[in-house]
Amino acid sequence: MTTIGFVRHGVTAWNKEGRAQGSTDVPLDEEGIQMAKRAAQRMQFEEWDVIYTSPLIRAKKTAEIIAENHSGVDFIQDKRLGEIGGGLIEGTTEDERIAKWGLDWRNQDIGFEPEDDIISRGMSFIEEVKQKHLGKRVLVVSHGGFISRLLYALVPNGEFSRDIGNTSVSIVELNDQGNSCHLFNCMKHLEVKEVQ
């Protein structure tokens, strides 16, 4: 049994503005860095055998902050973990998309990465992880759109929201008899605790 923990990157200015990021390399903002630090605190006593990250700076920085508490653990960038390519919508808000392409913009050919390609690269990564890290605990820092699609591919009968929160943690157990998701979109580390 191999365990994979998925973490979405911290928040960015574009997230707050509702701008599609896709493969555009947008950095974490200050709040995003603080969110990553809280995720790192949450995970500091968990054992992870390897950390993989998307090379996009918002995910890579989140992974680096988490990795600070896991010295000696391999840290690997993998371009297959990048966010879904958004084509012409990258950098635009919903209002801008409607103004440019109309209400039906999602159904137009504006350069989205095909679903089959997204799943193909995600499952290629998973198969490699199963071979290289059988029975290990693998942490993956990536992007909301990519993680949500990969979760559906790994656990087809799961009831998951497509909305993955910033720095949320989801944990999947990979088994030959069938995969299972033991934690989905958990953000308890972001809950504000009042000082007594």
Is 31 one of the annotated active-site residues of the chain? no
What the chain holds in terms of domains, given with CATH numbers, is 2-86+114-190 (3.40.50.1240)
Tell me the whole-structure pTM to 2 decimals: 0.94
User: Is 113 part of the annotated catalytic residue set?
Assistant: no
Q: Mean pLDDT, to the nearest integer, of 15-40?
A: 97
Q: Is 15 part of any known ligand binding site?
A: yes
The whole-angstrom separation of Cα 85 and Cα 62 is 20
- Average pLDDT for 141-156: 96
Residue pair 150/119 in contact (Cβ under 8 Å)? The answer is yes
Phi, psi of 8 (to 5 degrees): -85, 150
Confidence of residue 160 (pLDDT cuts 50, 70, 90): confident
Cβ contacts of residue 104 below 8 Å, gap of 6+?
none
Provide the pLDDT for residue 162: 81
pLDDT at 194 over 80: no
Q: Mean pLDDT across the stretch 1-14?
A: 97
Per-residue model confidence as pLDDT tens digits over 86-104: 999 999 999 999 999 999 9
Contact between 51 and 74 (Cβ < 8 Å): yes
pLDDT mean across residues, the chain: 95
Where does residue 8 rank: exposed (0-12), middle (13-18), buried (19+ CB within 10 A)?
buried
Residues 115-132: what's their mean pLDDT? 97
Choose the catalytic residue: 70, 83, 113, 143: 83
Q: Report whether 11 belongs to an annotated binding site.
A: yes
Was 58 annotated as part of a binding site? yes
Q: Which residues of 147-160 are buried (b: 16+ CB within 10 A; e: fewer)?
A: bbbbbeebbeeeeb
Q: Is 182 annotated as a binding residue?
A: no
pLDDT tier at 157, thresholds 50, 70, 90:
confident
Res 195 pLDDT > 90: no
pLDDT tier for residue 161 given thresholds of 50, 70 and 90: confident
Residue 124's contacts (CB-CB under 8 Å, 6 or more residues apart) are 80
